[in-house]
Amino acid sequence: MRRWLHDTAGGLPATFWYLWAGLLINRAGAFAMLFLSLYLTVARGASESLAGTVVGAYGLGGAAGVLLGGVLADRWGRRATLLAAHLVTTALMVALAFSRHLLLIAVLSALVGVAHSMPSPAFVAAIVDVVPEERRSRAFNLQFWAFNLGMAVASLLAGVLAEASFLALFLVDAGATLIAALVIAAKVPETLPDTRRARRAGQTDQAGRTDQAGRVRRPGLHTALTDRVFLAFVGLTFVLAVLTMQTSTIMPLAMRADGLRPSAYGAVVALGGVLIVVGQLFVPRLIDRHRKARVLAVSTALLAAGFAALAVADDLWVYLAAAVVWTVGQMLAAPPNAQINADLAPPELRARYQSVFYLAFPAASFVAPTLGGVSLQYLGERHWLIVGALGLLAAGCHLLAGPPRERRVAALRRTLATRREPALATDR
In one-letter notation, the amino acid at residue 422 is P
In a domain, 8, yes or no: no
Start-end of H helices in 280-381: 283-287, 292-308, 316-343, 350-358, 360-379
**DSSP code, position 214:** S
pLDDT at residue 172 in the model: 82
Give the CB-side neighbour count of residue 66, counting CA atoms within 13 A.
22
Cβ pair 159, 38 in contact under 8 A: no
pTM for the structure as a whole? 0.71
Distance in angstroms (rounded) separating the CA atoms of residues 145 and 124: 14
Helix (H, G, I), strand (E, B) or coil at 290: coil
Q: Is 135 exposed, middle or buried (0-12, 13-18, 19+ CB in 10 A)?
A: middle
CA distances to 121, 123, 369 from 118, in Å: 7, 9, 21
- In sign, the C-alpha dihedral spanning 3, 6, 8, 11 is negative
Range of the domain at 103: 22-193+220-427
Distance in angstroms (rounded) separating the CA atoms of residues 275 and 272: 5
In a domain, 204, yes or no: no
Across residues 385-405, what is the average pLDDT? 91
Helix (H, G, I), strand (E, B) or coil at 388: helix
**Digit-coded pLDDT (tens) for 117-175:** 888 888 888 988 888 877 887 888 888 788 777 776 776 676 666 666 778 788 888 88
- Helices then strands, counting H and E runs in the chain, come out as 20, 2
Start-end of H helices in 29-165: 36-38, 48-75, 78-97, 102-117, 119-130, 136-164
- pLDDT(200) > 50: no
- pLDDT(198) > 50: no
- pLDDT(69) > 60: yes
- pLDDT(205) > 50: no
In a domain, 229, yes or no: yes
In one-letter notation, the amino acid at residue 298 is V
- pLDDT(208) > 80: no
In a domain, 324, yes or no: yes
pLDDT at residue 19 in the model: 92
- pLDDT(7) > 60: no
In one-letter notation, the amino acid at residue 187 is K
pLDDT band at 398; cut points 50, 70, 90 = very high
pLDDT band at 335; cut points 50, 70, 90 = confident
Q: Which of 302-311, 346-355, 414-423 has the lowest mean pLDDT?
A: 414-423
pLDDT at residue 304 in the model: 92
How long, in residues, is the chain?
Answer: 428
In a domain, 125, yes or no: yes
pLDDT band at 80; cut points 50, 70, 90 = very high
In a domain, 45, yes or no: yes
Other CB atoms within a 10 A radius of the CB of residue 113 amount to: 27
Helix (H) or strand (E) segment spanning residue 217:
strand 216-217
CA dihedral 308, 47, 62, 402 (to 10 degrees): 20
pLDDT at residue 231 in the model: 92
**Digit-coded pLDDT (tens) for 341-385:** 888 888 778 788 888 887 787 778 778 887 877 787 777 778 888
In a domain, 1, yes or no: no
pLDDT at residue 29 in the model: 67
274: domain CATH number is 1.20.1250.20
Q: Which of 101-115, 225-239, 295-309, 333-347 has the lowest mean pLDDT?
A: 333-347
Q: List all residues 6 or more positions away from 200 whose beta carbon is below 8 Å from its beta carbon.
A: 426
Across residues 4-11, what is the average pLDDT? 55
Cα 369 to the center of its chain, rounded Å:
17
Please state, rounded to an integer, the average pLDDT across all residues of the chain. Answer: 80
Overall number of domains in the chain? 1
In the chain, % of residues over pLDDT 90: 17
In a domain, 11, yes or no: no
Q: Which of 71-75, 245-249, 300-304 has the lowest mean pLDDT?
A: 245-249
Cβ pair 343, 150 in contact under 8 A: no
